[in-house]
Amino acid sequence: MAELVFFSGTMDCGKSTLALQMDHNHRARGRSGLVLTKHDRAGEAVLSSRLGLSRDALEVTDELDFWDLVVQQATHGRPIQYLICDEAQFYLPEQVDQLARIVDECDIDVYAFGITADFRTALFPGSQRLIELADRLEVLQVEALCWCGRRATHNARVIDGHMVVEGDQVVVGDVAGGDPSVVEYEVLCRRHHMRRMTSHAARQQSPDPDLLPFDLDLCPLPGRQPTA
């Protein structure tokens, strides 16, 4: 029986890599599928992973009707058995409803990949609908880590090293390493997200590089009070 599965996690935890692997494995067994994405960092109509792999994909626009898409494919003699849907947090809730209908009425597997929450910890509308409708939620096994060493569970938006909590929900960007004058993201544990303590801020408080990436709370020094 077909399933709607939502693979989620923070940014940079391997979702797009897994999406490419799943497409590869299904294709290798002769199954026919479609790969879709929306606002990938690498540009339009491409699904890219930070491991260096990428492939062509259909760009999901607000106008796209997934139901019409699979019906069209079938009527043109290209029946679909699975859909890979990356950056699904950006899909409209009604598009997620269409995906659920495709699973139930066409017996097509839908594998969706995306972050659940934005930089303010609010659910993206597409992710909220996926959580409401999915047969299964899968949290990725590879843990992205906060600078302190704990598992990263939240996405921070960072401008000039400082975490911001106001702005548009959707701003396409990457985790640190690019041009620091533009918006970038950093994954943090909840504690440091709530304290707005990015790696930059932590370094300013504790400039000795030997103290990073270890969190003093996790690895206290004798006689020293935790700072972060």
Ligand X SMILES: Cc1cn([C@H]2C[C@H](O)[C@@H](COP(=O)(O)O)O2)c(=O)[nH]c1=O
Tell me which residues are annotated as active site: 87
The answer to whether 127 and 91 have CB atoms below 8 angstroms apart is: no
Shortest reach from residue 41's CB to ligand X, in Å: 5
Q: Which residue in the block uniquely carries the two structure tokens 């996790």? A: 218
Strands 184-188, 54-56: pairing is unpaired
Contact letters for ligand ADP, residues 140-159 (x by CB under 6 A): --x-x---------------
Does the annotation list 46 as a binding residue?
Answer: no
According to CB under 6 A, which one of 11, 47, 57, 130 is a site residue for ligand ADP? 11
Amino acid identity of residue 178, one-letter, is: G
Window contacting ligand ADP (CB under 6 A); options: 7-15, 152-160, 165-173, 213-221: 7-15
Does the annotation list 170 as a binding residue?
Answer: yes
The answer to whether 18 and 35 have CB atoms below 8 angstroms apart is: no
Does the annotation list 173 as a binding residue?
Answer: yes
Chain positions 13 to 32 lying near ligand ADP, rule: CB under 6 A, are 13-17
What backbone phi and psi angles, to 5 degrees, belong to 184?
-135, 175
Is 102 strand, coil or helix?
A: helix
Helix (H) or strand (E) holding 139: strand 136-139
Which residues are at the interface with ligand ADP (CB under 6 A)? 11-17, 49-51, 142, 144
Q: Provide the annotated binding site for substrate.
A: 170-173, 185
